[in-house]
Structure 1
Amino acid sequence: MSTIDRRIIRSQEAIKKAFVELMSEKNFDHITIQDIADRANVNRRTIYLHYMDKFDLLDKLIEEHIKKLREICETTSDMEILNGSPGWFEYFERHYSFFSAMLASKGSPSFRSRFLELVVEDLKNGYNIREGKNPGLSEDVILQFFGTACVGAVEWWFKNEMPYPPQVMEEQMITLLDSMEKLPQFSE
């Protein structure tokens, strides 16, 4: 088992932090590798040792956070969250800089679409949605409707500087999503 040099880890963390800070300050298109290097206090070559370009850096950051959110989905049930286990909103709060930068007007459309895919996947795996249960309502439409609503609620939470604590948001989102399973029953 190989261990990664702590200097490499520190450099990568400094690069990521600098990049997220810059994303919150200006449009992605206007961020240069030199900006990132200056902010991270590393040289450009150090960035290129780890990332092909700023697009690769963004993709790797997005993938890192999506992977962690997916792990939370897979390892934590709604009941555990309601009983105080950390869920998505606590993770969002711990990584406020990244998520607020990604979901703000200057953010990354690719993050929003990846996040929506994850939410829809989680809804599909975690909730009882069947086309036959509600004739005339397509599973795809239901998933997109509730998925987009979830993403919109998260965006609202960040744009309003987290007006409710993470646990309150978790509880309210779970209650709303549970109502999805209680859509009116139509006789067939």
Structure 2
Amino acid sequence: MLKMDRRIRKSQEAIKMAVIELMIEKKFDQITIQDISDRADVSRRTIYLHYTDKFDLLDKLIEEHIDDIRELCNSTDDDADYKDMGLVWFEYFESHSLFFSALLASKGSPFFRNRFLAFFLQELGDNVPEGSNQGLTDGEYVDIQFLGAAIVGVVEWWFKNGMPLPPSFMAQRLGALLEKNLEASGYTEHQIAPPSNADRS
């Protein structure tokens, strides 16, 4: 049974790597299950045992990385600021550069960008101060949309230019820009703060 589990994991990793490599080469809409099967050296049946179709495969792959980033966010110190969080983000991006390059810097599906943006919007929105039970104010909503789009834009630039600057530099600059914009919008240090364990409990 253990040997079977190991074989299943190996097949799943081969399938994931295959779709990432293929997305670097061509648009996601042009990729077929047969392409993935050939590249991963597994049967089409094996792919369908784990995934409904290529969209389900991509969705699960994206969710896996987003869950990993969210877990890293949740494990940081409670007093972490945006520069600290930025370093966590960019170090993760660097260690999974092939995946993020395929989805952000090449001919990958725009679906990922929307999911990536949604992740940052959720991270920011979860930390808006609970001033009322009505959810976000119009101003907070606009601010969060701006900050989320800014983060995604910076990450896209980084990958499209071949990661020209180290994660530490990117974290410092992005963190400083986010804090500057929050201060200009009139937020205190406790408003739209970076995620922390305390916020998640």
TM class by smaller structure = 0.7 to 0.9
Retained in 2: the 8 A contact 1:127–1:181?
no
Query: SS where residue 80 of structure 2 aligns?
Result: helix
> Bigger relative contact order, structure 1 or 2, given CA contacts below 8 A and separation 6+?
2
Retained in 1: the 8 A contact 2:158–2:164?
yes
Which residue number corresponds to residue 165 of structure 2? 164
* Structure 1 residue 123 displacement after superposition: 2.0
- Seen in structure 2, the aligned counterparts of structure 1 residues 128 and 169 have a Cα distance that, compared at 3 Å, is farther
Q: Distance in 2 between matches of 1:180 and 1:63?
A: 29
1:173 counterpart letter in structure 2: L
Alignment of 1:95-114 (within 5 A): 95-114=96-115
1:54 counterpart letter in structure 2: K
Q: Distance in 2 between matches of 1:137 and 1:5?
A: 50
- Seen in structure 2, the aligned counterparts of structure 1 residues 144 and 124 have a Cα distance that, compared at 3 Å, is same
Retained in 1: the 8 A contact 2:84–2:171?
no
Query: SS where residue 138 of structure 1 aligns?
Result: helix
Alignment of 1:50-65 (within 5 A): 50-65=50-65
Q: Which runs of 5+ in 1 are unaligned?
A: 131-135
Which residue number corresponds to residue 7 of structure 1? 7
Superposition CA RMSD, Å: 2.9
Q: Distance in 2 between matches of 1:154 and 1:84?
A: 14
Aligned length: 181
Give CA deviations for 1:121-171 in whole Å, capped at 9, x if unaligned: 2223346698xxxxx971111111111111000000000010111121112
Q: Distance in 2 between matches of 1:169 and 1:52?
A: 38
Query: SS where residue 163 of structure 1 aligns?
Result: coil
- Seen in structure 2, the aligned counterparts of structure 1 residues 185 and 143 have a Cα distance that, compared at 3 Å, is closer
Which residue number corresponds to residue 133 of structure 1? none
1:17 counterpart letter in structure 2: M
Normalised to the residue count of structure 1, the TM-score between the two structures is 0.84
- Seen in structure 2, the aligned counterparts of structure 1 residues 86 and 71 have a Cα distance that, compared at 3 Å, is same
Q: Distance in 1 between matches of 2:86 and 2:142?
A: 31
Query: SS where residue 87 of structure 1 aligns?
Result: helix
